[in-house]
Amino acid sequence: MAWLYLIIAAIFELGWPLGFKLSDIHPERFWLHMCISVVCMLLSGVFLYLAQKTIPISTAYIVWTGIGAIGTLVMGIVFFGDSASFLRLFFAFLILVGAVGLEVITK
């Protein structure tokens, strides 16, 4: 169950940079998007708290931030036209390898 909590936390982790970006793109809905960001931050933190009760905090935090970073990168590329250069994707892949590697050596 802790890994499910961690995945949910990471999904909410994607919500707050998305809210920030949308508040910039749609200033007429600034407060709505900022409220979404704050709620996502809160829920992300709550689910990370629940996950780290079982998963070592170092592993939980790295996986949480890794999913958040890579998810935000993908979201930026798909929805906002961010660069998808080879080097950006390569270094994002290294983040993924590092997070998986930490979990493998933890067991």
Helix, strand or coil, per DSSP, at residue 92: helix
Of the candidates 57, 54, 45, the one whose C-alpha atom is nearest the C-alpha of residue 8 is 45
pLDDT single digits (tens) 31-80: 999 999 999 999 999 999 999 999 989 889 988 998 999 999 999 999 99
Top-confidence residue, 1 or 107: 1
For the chain, the farthest-separated pair of C-alpha atoms sits apart, in whole angstroms, at 49
Structure tokens belonging to residue 95: 């983040």
* Percentage of the chain modeled with pLDDT above 90: 77
Neighbours of 59 (CB within 10 A): 18
Top-confidence residue, 84 or 99: 84
